[in-house]
A and B are shown apart, each in its own frame.
Chain A
Amino acid sequence: MAKEQLMSYEDAIERFEVVIGLEVHVELNTVSKMFCGCANNFGSEPNTNVCPTCLGLPGSLPAVNRKAVESSIAIGLALDCQIAPNGRFARKNYFYPDLAKNFQTSQFDEPIAFEGEISIELETGEVFMVPIERAHMEEDAGKLTHVGGATGRIQGAEYSLVDYNRAGVPLVEIVTKPIYGALDKAPELAATYVRAIRDIVKSMNVSDAKMERGNVRCDANVSLREKGAEKLGTRTETKNVNSLKSIENTVRYEIQRQAFILAAGGKIIQETRHWHEDRGHTSAGRPKSDADDYRYFPEPDLVPVQPSEEWIEEIRLTLTEKPSDRRKRLQDAWGFADLEFRDVLNSDLLDEIEATVAAGASPQSARKWWTGELARLANAQQLAVQDLPITPEQVASIQKLIDSGELTDRIARDVVAGVLAGEGEPAEVIESRGLKIVTDEGALIAAIDKALASQPDVMEKIRDGKLQAAGAVIGAVMQEMRGQADAARVRELILERAK
């Protein structure tokens, strides 16, 4: 795929006005699927969470998951949407092997939530109101694996394999209205918006919200128009952009690509595109044609969804604090500088640090552990920090022991290693590995005397005022104690001895 020509970003923004539109699909974390009782599980053996309904067997019928409706209403409320008092499901008809019925049960002109907005804060502190068109309920498709081609992609594949475990998993699709006026911040706004959605659904616990698992997926629409023009330009839709960085890069790339074409007098083809993270560019997929006539009609196998005022209010009461409000509150409470706090957010460790602080550690120590030592260890094992087998409570208890002087920073790292290796709770690791700092002064003095005996001249030097000579003895003692001593206390004892 030949790389297309681009205009420089600055020139593109200078000349054209950018309009973006974002569609985010959120996978709900209900126990069962949207229209049947199969488990909503990640990672099961293929085609083991399937039944006549999600397999699309002849004669099967759907039945709506109440929790999914509840979660959808919650998402709508969190986005300040109106909740439709009467809505129906609709069939979106098209053929594809991952679509068990060759139609998707979705919502067309009667979405459960509509007309909302969300405020997005950019790096500079500038706040942007993103208008929400709608949020509607639908079901996910199965998973296709392409076999035989070079890269596992569709082109050149010999055949494909279909797993319907994911078919029927509940999705909420959130669609923004066209977003104007983002100017050069459009790429950042897009990424920040998606992150905000992710944070909201995660904080409400309606989704696991792991982008790397596809729990939150984004389609990015980009169009350009000459400055001052009335009519919207032709847009492209880049589908399934699955990381925040990729979203930002995709929008930026499309701006540059489209600008080059328009400036040269060409026309933008309205089409679906795909972002290639490895190569840093989008490529054309299928052109949008009349093959996209989805022939929507109300789903005859389901009855209307008419949430009562009471139910909506009940749900509204369960809504948690807005993520942006929570972030402000925590930053203030912990007294973190902006850079430090951004560090925490970028590593997605807010929950872990909050839990560690709640378990008794100081905010700064919690931050240092999670963004420092633990992040380093995770990286070395190619894991996400959140997936390390250590809990915030365990981290807090280790920090407590450091604070009380029972562990040094260095020994604490051994304790962490022990916990990660599955040797048990910090107390158990300390016990079994014998890691406690020796506080018995008798033992320390014995070790000091032993060290002094083999370095007789040190005493002289100390008495002469050359205190740094103690260093050698401290070193020897620390070695004797296998590091399990408070070096500062050892130094004190040595100096006392010298008197």
Chain B
Amino acid sequence: MTDITSSSAAVLAGLILSKKASSVEITTAFLDRLEKLNPKTNSYLHFNRENSLAQAKRADQQLAEGKTVSPLHGVPIAVKDNLTTTDAPTTAGSKILEGWVPQYDATVVRKLREASMPILGKTNLDEFAMGSSTEFSAYGPSKNPWDLSRIPGGSGGGSSSAIAGHLAPLAIGSDTGGSIRFPAAMTGSVGAKPTYGAVSRYGLIALASSLDQIGPVTNSVLDAAMLQDVIGGHDPHDSTSLPNSLGSMVQSVKEADVKGLRVGVVKQLSSDGFQPGVKACFDDTIEKLAAAGAEIVEVDCPSFEYAVAAYYLILPAEASSNLAKFDSVRFGLRVTPDGNPTIENVMAATREQGFGPEVKRRIILGTYALSSGYYDAYYGSAQKVRTLIQQDLAKAFTQADVLLTPTAPTTAFKIGEKVNDPLAMYLNDIATIPANLAGIPGISVPNGLASEDGLPSGVQILAPAMQDGQMYRVASIVEKLYVDQWGASLIARVPDLEAL
């Protein structure tokens, strides 16, 4: 049923609520499609038809009893495999957690269940969310539905390829330096990172605790807003979660108005270092906004020059500590060397075999950044750069309501192209990292196909902390400008996966 799988979540929700389609029908349609096509994209690491259908059935039963528990009641969703689920393995894309079935659900998973949204399965990611291509997943890379020889972005390439390939109408992922937004740009879909603390991290396998956020991966801005409304909110389990809800994002989307909008273009992220076709799409976005009545200003954020460096000190440092718990004792892989090994030997052998090369690199780098004698120069200094970035952004947001940048420096590169060049890989996140360092919300919205290669490009919209509504509002404006131009959203042009 192509109709169903090409529909947005908002449309599907409408069908369910108006009883034109059941959750079982819709969930079945996606299951049929993903079972057939997942071998092509490797979007999902686990799925269980029976389990998903049982959830869909329960959703339908509630509706039959007159109970509607959420605006997305009955709409199925894919969950990134670094979020704990009690009814499916959670591997974080690593061998060290192969087959681990968690003893508890992540808070966001609990919220999805309480919203009666059947879970289709767990999606692929770079190991422990470290990467921007899924090439570091221990279970093989995911493939971009626009071109199966190319990466779908990472770390959340499983969710972005599932969304772009219509193997799910909705997905949730995590974003530490761009892991939701970068894949969205690579696949012509929508990906949002809420304000730090807007969504509970309880049950998210931690990468960098002060940078991680969970967010929606969808094919429309409205879908993302609806999903953030379901998953957001204070959680007593997460001491860093915001004390108060940010209000309804859907409500903000409805209030989209360009008049008087001040759009800031970040000097440091608008010229050099971007693929020409991507830059051209970005310039086009700015022109459209100006034509629609927005005021365009240039803002100067000099500290952005150090953002990637600071990030690649803070992240490995926090990750090296967060990943220490993977030691063969309470869960996960245990490798026992021959002879009479001590527990220290077992731990070291387990981590050697269980962690991939990128994870090891970052753990060792992080251990170095925190070690005595080096803390001040590395981790300590990086945390100071964060302050500078926040200061630059605070100043920029006095001059503009939102900031726009291209989401990514390039379009989707070929699988294998950057995998042996860590530094080149790190630069994929050059535009997305500042938002994580500062804790502000950011969203990527498709803004065309790059002329050189015909591959998707994305524009990133940044808003001040806790102004996620503002972010969704402007994103919705941008989306409409393009849908008006194209007559449909960009994703309508994605190749037919069944034919590939």
A63 interface contact, C-beta 8 A? yes
Q: Are A303 and B239 in contact (CB under 8 A)?
A: yes
Q: Are B327 and A63 in contact (CB under 8 A)?
A: no
Please indicate the chain B residues that have their CB under 8 angstroms from the CB of A60 in the complex.
Answer: 104, 202-203
Q: Which of B90, B238, B239, B321 contacts A58 (CB 8 A)?
A: B90
How far is it, in angstroms, between the C-alpha of A97 and the C-alpha of B325 when the chains are bound?
Answer: 10
Q: Which of A64, A97, A300, A301 contacts B329 (CB 8 A)?
A: A97
Interface residues as binary, A278-304 with B (CB distance below 8 Å gives 1, 0 otherwise): 000000000000000101110011110
How far is it, in angstroms, between the C-alpha of A162 and the C-alpha of B330 when the chains are bound?
Answer: 9
**Minimal Cβ-Cβ distance residue in A for B324:** A102
Chain A nearest Cβ from B57, distance in angstroms: 28
How far is it, in angstroms, between the C-alpha of A416 and the C-alpha of B367 when the chains are bound?
Answer: 64
Q: Which of B82, B203, B329, B370 contacts A93 (CB 8 A)?
A: B370
Interface residues as binary, B216-243 with A (CB distance below 8 Å gives 1, 0 otherwise): 0000000000000000000011111000
Please indicate the chain A residues that have their CB under 8 angstroms from the CB of B238 in the complex.
Answer: 61, 63
A78 interface contact, C-beta 8 A? no
Q: Which of A57, A97, A301, A303 contacts B104 (CB 8 A)?
A: A57
B420 interface contact, C-beta 8 A? no
**Minimal Cβ-Cβ distance residue in B for A93:** B321
**Minimal Cβ-Cβ distance residue in B for A58:** B205
Interface residues as binary, B62-99 with A (CB distance below 8 Å gives 1, 0 otherwise): 00000000000000000000111000001010000100
Within 371-410 of B, Cβ neighbours of A (below 8 Å) are at 371-372, 375, 379
Q: Are A62 and B321 in contact (CB under 8 A)?
A: no
How far is it, in angstroms, between the C-alpha of A273 and the C-alpha of B489 when the chains are bound?
Answer: 70
Please indicate the chain A residues that have their CB under 8 angstroms from the CB of B149 in the complex.
Answer: none
Please indicate the chain A residues that have their CB under 8 angstroms from the CB of B367 in the complex.
Answer: 295
Q: Which of B239, B324, B370 contacts A62 (CB 8 A)?
A: B239
A334 interface contact, C-beta 8 A? no
Q: Are B325 and A100 in contact (CB under 8 A)?
A: yes
B343 interface contact, C-beta 8 A? yes
Q: Which of B106, B324, B347 contacts A103 (CB 8 A)?
A: B324
How far is it, in angstroms, between the C-alpha of A119 and the C-alpha of B330 when the chains are bound?
Answer: 45
How far is it, in angstroms, between the C-alpha of A391 and the C-alpha of B50 when the chains are bound?
Answer: 62
Q: Are A297 and B375 in contact (CB under 8 A)?
A: yes
With contacts A58-B84, A95-B344, A160-B343 taken as known, whether A63 is within 8 angstroms of B239 at the C-beta atoms is yes
Q: Are A57 and B201 in contact (CB under 8 A)?
A: no
With contacts A57-B103, A58-B92, A303-B240 taken as known, whether A297 is within 8 angstroms of B321 at the C-beta atoms is yes
Q: Are A61 and B324 in contact (CB under 8 A)?
A: no
A46 interface contact, C-beta 8 A? no
Q: Are A59 and B209 in contact (CB under 8 A)?
A: no
Within 346-387 of A, Cβ neighbours of B (below 8 Å) are at none
How far is it, in angstroms, between the C-alpha of A51 and the C-alpha of B344 when the chains are bound?
Answer: 25
How far is it, in angstroms, between the C-alpha of A301 and the C-alpha of B82 when the chains are bound?
Answer: 17
Within 301-318 of A, Cβ neighbours of B (below 8 Å) are at 301-303
Q: Which of A102, A296, A297 contacts B327 (CB 8 A)?
A: A102
Interface residues as binary, B198-213 with A (CB distance below 8 Å gives 1, 0 otherwise): 0001111110111000
Q: Which of B103, B209, B370 contacts A301 (CB 8 A)?
A: B209
Q: Which of A55, A59, A91 contacts B203 (CB 8 A)?
A: A59
Interface residues as binary, A94-122 with B (CB distance below 8 Å gives 1, 0 otherwise): 01010011110000000000000000000
Q: Are A59 and B204 in contact (CB under 8 A)?
A: yes
B479 interface contact, C-beta 8 A? no
Chain A nearest Cβ from B348, distance in angstroms: 9
Within 319-347 of B, Cβ neighbours of A (below 8 Å) are at 320-321, 324-327, 329-331, 343-344, 347
Interface residues as binary, A163-191 with B (CB distance below 8 Å gives 1, 0 otherwise): 00000000000000000000000000000
How far is it, in angstroms, between the C-alpha of A55 and the C-alpha of B237 when the chains are bound?
Answer: 15
B14 interface contact, C-beta 8 A? no
What range describes how many residues of A lie at the interface? 20 to 34
Please indicate the chain B residues that have their CB under 8 angstroms from the CB of A160 in the complex.
Answer: 343
Chain A nearest Cβ from B274, distance in angstroms: 32
A471 interface contact, C-beta 8 A? no
With contacts A58-B84, A63-B239 taken as known, whether A297 is within 8 angstroms of B317 at the C-beta atoms is yes
Q: Are A61 and B325 in contact (CB under 8 A)?
A: no
Please indicate the chain A residues that have their CB under 8 angstroms from the CB of B97 in the complex.
Answer: 58
With contacts A91-B321, A100-B325 taken as known, whether A59 is within 8 angstroms of B103 at the C-beta atoms is no
B side interface size, CB within 8 A: 45
Chain B nearest Cβ from A163, distance in angstroms: 12
Q: Which of A58, A103, A295, A300 contacts B372 (CB 8 A)?
A: A295
**Minimal Cβ-Cβ distance residue in A for B327:** A102
Chain A nearest Cβ from B160, distance in angstroms: 22
Please indicate the chain A residues that have their CB under 8 angstroms from the CB of B372 in the complex.
Answer: 293, 295
Q: Which of B209, B239, B331, B343 contacts A57 (CB 8 A)?
A: B331
Please indicate the chain B residues that have their CB under 8 angstroms from the CB of A295 in the complex.
Answer: 321, 367, 370-372, 375
Please indicate the chain B residues that have their CB under 8 angstroms from the CB of A149 in the complex.
Answer: none
Please indicate the chain B residues that have their CB under 8 angstroms from the CB of A301 in the complex.
Answer: 206, 209, 239-240
List the count of A-B residue pairs having beta carbons below 8 Å apart. 103
Please indicate the chain B residues that have their CB under 8 angstroms from the CB of A300 in the complex.
Answer: 208-210, 240, 318
Within 70-96 of A, Cβ neighbours of B (below 8 Å) are at 91, 93, 95
How far is it, in angstroms, between the C-alpha of A293 and the C-alpha of B321 when the chains are bound?
Answer: 13
Please indicate the chain B residues that have their CB under 8 angstroms from the CB of A51 in the complex.
Answer: 104
Q: Are B237 and A63 in contact (CB under 8 A)?
A: yes
**Highest count of chain A CB atoms <10 Å: which of B84, B318, B321:** B321
Q: Which of B209, B318, B329 contacts A162 (CB 8 A)?
A: B329
B276 interface contact, C-beta 8 A? no
**Minimal Cβ-Cβ distance residue in A for B235:** A61
Q: Are A57 and B237 in contact (CB under 8 A)?
A: no
A56 interface contact, C-beta 8 A? yes
A52 interface contact, C-beta 8 A? yes
Please indicate the chain A residues that have their CB under 8 angstroms from the CB of B106 in the complex.
Answer: 59
B102 interface contact, C-beta 8 A? yes
Q: Which of A59, A61, A97, A297 contacts B102 (CB 8 A)?
A: A59
Chain A nearest Cβ from B158, distance in angstroms: 18
**Highest count of chain A CB atoms <10 Å: which of B84, B92, B106, B327:** B327
**Minimal Cβ-Cβ distance residue in B for A160:** B343
Q: Are B202 and A61 in contact (CB under 8 A)?
A: yes
How far is it, in angstroms, between the C-alpha of A52 and the C-alpha of B325 when the chains are bound?
Answer: 12
How far is it, in angstroms, between the C-alpha of A293 and the C-alpha of B370 when the chains are bound?
Answer: 9
With contacts A52-B103, A57-B330, A58-B97 taken as known, whether A102 is within 8 angstroms of B325 at the C-beta atoms is yes
Chain B nearest Cβ from A162, distance in angstroms: 7
With contacts A93-B324, A95-B324 taken as known, whether A59 is within 8 angstroms of B344 at the C-beta atoms is no
How far is it, in angstroms, between the C-alpha of A228 and the C-alpha of B149 when the chains are bound?
Answer: 77
**Highest count of chain A CB atoms <10 Å: which of B92, B103, B201, B367:** B103
Please indicate the chain A residues that have their CB under 8 angstroms from the CB of B103 in the complex.
Answer: 52, 57
Q: Are B325 and A297 in contact (CB under 8 A)?
A: no
**Highest count of chain B CB atoms <10 Å: which of A64, A97, A100:** A97
Please indicate the chain A residues that have their CB under 8 angstroms from the CB of B202 in the complex.
Answer: 59-61
How far is it, in angstroms, between the C-alpha of A100 and the C-alpha of B208 when the chains are bound?
Answer: 19
Please indicate the chain B residues that have their CB under 8 angstroms from the CB of A297 in the complex.
Answer: 317-318, 321, 370, 375, 379
Please indicate the chain A residues that have their CB under 8 angstroms from the CB of B208 in the complex.
Answer: 300
How far is it, in angstroms, between the C-alpha of A449 and the C-alpha of B97 when the chains are bound?
Answer: 92
How far is it, in angstroms, between the C-alpha of A194 and the C-alpha of B499 when the chains are bound?
Answer: 78
Q: Are B330 and A56 in contact (CB under 8 A)?
A: yes
Q: Are B206 and A59 in contact (CB under 8 A)?
A: yes
Q: Are B84 and A95 in contact (CB under 8 A)?
A: no
Chain A nearest Cβ from B102, distance in angstroms: 7
Q: Are A61 and B321 in contact (CB under 8 A)?
A: no
With contacts A63-B236, A303-B240 taken as known, whether A58 is within 8 angstroms of B329 at the C-beta atoms is no
Please indicate the chain B residues that have their CB under 8 angstroms from the CB of A52 in the complex.
Answer: 102-104
**What are 16 A-to-B residue pairs whose CB atoms are below 8 Å?**
A55-B330, A56-B325, A57-B104, A58-B90, A59-B202, A61-B201, A62-B239, A93-B324, A97-B343, A102-B324, A102-B325, A102-B327, A295-B370, A296-B370, A300-B209, A301-B240
Nearest first, the 3 closest Cβ-Cβ pairs linking A and B are A102-B324, A300-B209, A295-B370
Q: Given A58-B325, A93-B370, output 16 extra A-B contacts at Cβ < 8 Å.
A: A57-B102, A57-B104, A58-B206, A58-B331, A59-B104, A60-B203, A61-B240, A95-B347, A102-B327, A103-B321, A295-B372, A296-B370, A300-B240, A301-B209, A301-B239, A301-B240
